[in-house]
Amino acid sequence: MDQLNLSSNQEHIIDVLIRKNPDLDRGILSKAVAFIAQAHEGQYRKSGMPYTEHPYEVAKILADLKQDQPTVLAGLLHDVVEDTDHSLEELAEMFGEDTAFMVDAVTKITAAQEANKTAQKAETYRKLIIAMAKDPRVIMIKIADRIHNMRTMRYMKPEKRQLIAQETLDIYIPLTHRFGLYKLKNELEDLSFKYVNPDEYQKLVDALIENKESREQYIQSVIGPLQIKMALEDFDCTIQGRTKNIYSIYNKMLSRGCQFEDIFDIFAIRIIVESIPECYLALGYVHNLWTPLQSRFKDYIATPKPNLYQSIHTTVIGPDNKMVEVQIRTKDMDLTAEKGFAAHWAYKLETQHEGEELAWLNHMVKLQSEISDSKEYLDFLKVDLKPSGMTVFTPKGTSIELPQGAIVLDFAFAVHTELGLHCIGAKINDEVVNLDTVVTHGATIQILKSPHQEPSPEWLEMVKTVKAKQELRRWMRNSMIQQSKDLGKEIWIRELRLAKIEKDKRPAEEAINKYFGTTSVDDFYERIGQGELPLVDIQRFLNGDRAQNGNDSAKALKFFPSFNKDKKAEYRDEMPLQIGRETSLMIHFAKCCAPVPGDKIVGVLRPQIGIEVHNEDCPELKKLTDGQQIAVQWSEQSTHAFEVHLSIENDNRKNFTYDVLKALKDENLFMDRISSAGVNYSGRVRLVFKAYRKEQVDNLISNIKKIPGVRQVVKS
């Protein structure tokens, strides 16, 4: 009886698969269904159901997406190698190389193959991305697998559910967007949201149920006039109304900082027509009925999304003066919007032409090969997989895909690394903009560059794309090596001059390497510049070298700078290094005292950092050991602006912040940020601004002290 029931169940599964996709072969499906029943015999899901329920459901999802025979077979067989004793070679022989390749691609790297879970997860994703680039059908199996697992998550422990749901939000939902699988994306979003934030999820479910009747009435109040208008124009189309998914409504609430009751666009009206010209004709009819909002108009037909999505989106002031979103598309566009790239799968595979819609996969394969650290790679995936959201263009019309919030600098690096490294700004619609300007969808951008421009560390905080960050880090690593060598050489020559060692009597490279354990003179310079060799060690080496040549080492010592913390004057005159001539990655300005040109300063050698510049009276200097300090002074050629922090204690009164900003403006200084707080009669203002000289800071502090109610002003 059991065997008969099992056979009946198998026949039912095969019937369902063929009904969903008539192109599937019954004979090979029968073979695969019988094979997995035997392979997974005795295995059960957390729900208590036979394990075969899972591969059956995965295959149904794939058949519904009209996937081909090898893909549906791989869906049925995807857990066989991971969870049974059967091998890939066996699958290849029975069901073909294509199917075996896809099964291997979705099989996890085992814990035994990797040292820890982070590395295991990272390597599994690396393997998946590489396989996707070779055969994009792989991701369809992985998404179908995740969909069914999410549908049955209620049988898992709460902490496990939350981990899987968060991973789905980070990795799998961006993938569904990349492939245009919006129907599956919406389902995955709501299922993930349900487990990641169950309280907010339930609140929204209750709210949607509560206003369901009034919402449906309003949708009909929009559809009714549209149907009448189209009938009067003798225009054939289909009009639908749908409520947006729960997770997208929640994101709207977060981004707008409002409650559910304040969200006007929780539903959308969709008009489906036969041809592209009819899309624009329908748009005209909609705008004849209601006033459009130009700022919310998007034409994804003229500029399709990278995942092939096409549609016209317009927002109008509908009945009762409420905003209504209307989407207009052809039947083919609607199929693509529902099934994404999969809707065109057969054609794409036959022609072997993926086009630009899959270029991001090759881009990811290239980038991931440059990231060796597992944690960094997982962070990269979470950022780079996210949907781009916009396409921008070069002056020649080449399209560039960028994430929301990307700036001109991201675009420059996307076009070419050298363009990014020397970018000084851009022209957008004939308007010159800064390199940190946020770019918008559809913009044509011309990058402006200068051979004298070089990146600064602040750029790393500004850019959004992984490529820009990687190229900047690479440039900075290389620049730091060269700059540390240059700085180290400058310090070494300075010490030789202070010791009055003539050129022909300087220590040989062999002696230097032997004493300091370096491999070359460049390595020696680099270690000095990075602050790894204390000055006292260099001085000890030079003194010993001179003593061996018959010189009085005690006499030689007097030529070295004294770094006694109680004798500040002595290290100001000992051939100080020039600071502030140009941007250097090896010279840093201490935040504890924030020196600006005009302050009396001293340098501190910090291992792996270089020189840290402090004010001469900075309390932090008292914590240093001898040999860390080095004489420095401001270069007269310094043209850089330096960040200054002021803390202002004041009487808590109206317009005090305005008075501070006016004092700043009077000194022609640039404000970075300002904050204020007050309790009862006391207030505090924190001001951050840029200054070029000490005199500017002193004048500003003096003028702020003259403001009524000021109690104290200090640099912080």
Residue 670 belongs to domain with CATH number? 3.30.70.260
Single out the catalytic residue among 11, 83, 97, 666.
83
Same domain, 245 and 333: yes
How far apart CA 364 and CA 139 sit, in angstroms, is: 14
Mean pLDDT of the region 215-226: 91
Same domain, 326 and 220: yes
Mean pLDDT of the region 330-348: 70
Q: Phi, psi (5° rounding) for residue 578? A: -85, 130
Same domain, 515 and 426: no
Q: What total of structural domains would you count in the chain?
A: 5
Residue pLDDT, tens place only, 704-716: 999 999 999 988 7
In terms of Cβ atoms closer than 10 Å to its own Cβ (0-12, 13-18, 19+), residue 699 is middle
Domain containing residue 84: CATH number = 1.10.3210.10
How far apart CA 318 and CA 224 sit, in angstroms, is: 12
Within a domain: 663: yes
Domain containing residue 445: CATH number = 3.10.20.30
Same domain, 439 and 293: no
Same domain, 329 and 449: no
Domain containing residue 281: CATH number = 3.30.460.10
Whose tokens are 């899309």? That residue is: 279
The confidence score (pLDDT) of residue 690 equals 87
How far apart CA 555 and CA 543 sit, in angstroms, is: 9
Q: What confidence category does residue 565 fall into, taking pLDDT thresholds of 50, 70 and 90?
A: very low
How far apart CA 11 and CA 32 sit, in angstroms, is: 12
**355 or 699: which leads in pLDDT:** 699
Mean pLDDT of the region 287-298: 90
Mean pLDDT of the region 311-315: 94
How far apart CA 42 and CA 637 sit, in angstroms, is: 80
2-16, 276-290, 462-476: segment of lowest average pLDDT: 2-16
Whose tokens are 């060269």? That residue is: 482
Mean pLDDT of the region 326-348: 74
Identify the bridge partners of residue 393 per DSSP, sorted by sequence position: 399, 444
Does the pLDDT value for residue 262 go beyond 80? no
The confidence score (pLDDT) of residue 582 equals 60
Residue pLDDT, tens place only, 477-536: 888 888 889 888 888 988 888 888 888 888 889 999 999 999 999 999 998 888 888 888
Q: How far is CA 150 from the centre of its chain?
A: 26
Could you tell me whether strands 682-691 and 670-679 are parallel, antiparallel, or unpaired per DSSP bridges?
Answer: antiparallel
Q: Which helix (H) or strand (E) holds 270?
A: strand 267-273
Within a domain: 257: yes
Same domain, 216 and 192: no
The confidence score (pLDDT) of residue 108 equals 73
Same domain, 9 and 115: yes
Mean pLDDT of the region 665-688: 88
Cα torsion at 406, 409, 413, 416 (round to 10°)?
130
**Cβ neighbours of residue 307 closer than 8 Å, sequence gap 6 or more:** 177, 178, 179, 180, 340, 341, 357, 387
Listed residues 199, 226, 257: the one ending a domain: 199
How far apart CA 316 and CA 287 sit, in angstroms, is: 7
- Asked whether the beta carbons of 142 and 106 are under 8 A apart, the reply is yes
Quote the mean pLDDT of the chain.
84
Residue pLDDT, tens place only, 446-480: 999 998 888 888 898 899 887 888 889 888 888 88
The confidence score (pLDDT) of residue 383 equals 67
- Percent of the chain's residues with pLDDT above 90: 37
Mean pLDDT of the region 348-356: 46
Within a domain: 633: no
Boundaries of domain holding 410: 391-463
**30 or 571: which leads in pLDDT:** 30
* This prediction's pTM: 0.62
Alpha-carbon separation of residue 654 from 269, 326, 627, 708 (angstroms): 49, 47, 51, 11
How far apart CA 126 and CA 381 sit, in angstroms, is: 10
Same domain, 425 and 325: no
The confidence score (pLDDT) of residue 548 equals 45
Q: What confidence category does residue 410 fall into, taking pLDDT thresholds of 50, 70 and 90?
A: very high
- Asked whether the beta carbons of 270 and 227 are under 8 A apart, the reply is no
Active site (annotated) includes residue 15: no
Mean pLDDT of the region 49-73: 92
Mean pLDDT of the region 183-199: 92
Q: Phi, psi (5° rounding) for residue 362? A: -65, -35
Does the pLDDT value for residue 628 go beyond 90? no
Single out the catalytic residue among 11, 23, 41, 82.
82
Within a domain: 88: yes
How far apart CA 205 and CA 100 sit, in angstroms, is: 42
Rg (CA), the chain: 34
359-368, 594-603, 679-688: segment of lowest average pLDDT: 359-368
Alpha-carbon separation of residue 341 from 565, 652, 706 (angstroms): 70, 61, 67
Q: Which helix (H) or strand (E) holds 376?
A: helix 374-384
DSSP letter at 402?
E
Mean pLDDT of the region 288-315: 88
The confidence score (pLDDT) of residue 344 equals 57
DSSP letter at 451?
T
The confidence score (pLDDT) of residue 18 equals 94
Same domain, 46 and 107: yes
The confidence score (pLDDT) of residue 561 equals 39
Alpha-carbon separation of residue 55 from 33, 39, 74, 541, 668 (angstroms): 9, 12, 9, 73, 69
* Local structure of 673: helix, strand or coil: strand
DSSP letter at 23?
T
- Percent of the chain's residues with pLDDT above 70: 88
106-110, 136-140, 334-338, 398-402: segment of lowest average pLDDT: 106-110
The confidence score (pLDDT) of residue 578 equals 81
Does the pLDDT value for residue 382 go beyond 80? no
The confidence score (pLDDT) of residue 110 equals 53
- Asked whether the beta carbons of 105 and 131 are under 8 A apart, the reply is yes
102-116, 211-225, 434-448, 670-684: segment of lowest average pLDDT: 102-116
The confidence score (pLDDT) of residue 116 equals 67
The confidence score (pLDDT) of residue 97 equals 93
Same domain, 237 and 181: no
Within a domain: 621: no
Identify the top-confidence range among 47-51, 188-192, 303-307, 437-441. 188-192
Same domain, 323 and 242: yes
Active site (annotated) includes residue 436: no
Per-residue burial over 214-235, b = 16 or more CB atoms within 10 Å of its CB, e = otherwise:
eeeebbeebeeebeeebeeeee
Q: What confidence category does residue 567 fall into, taking pLDDT thresholds of 50, 70 and 90?
A: very low
Q: What confidence category does residue 79 fall into, taking pLDDT thresholds of 50, 70 and 90?
A: very high
Same domain, 214 and 174: no
Q: What confidence category does residue 611 fall into, taking pLDDT thresholds of 50, 70 and 90?
A: confident
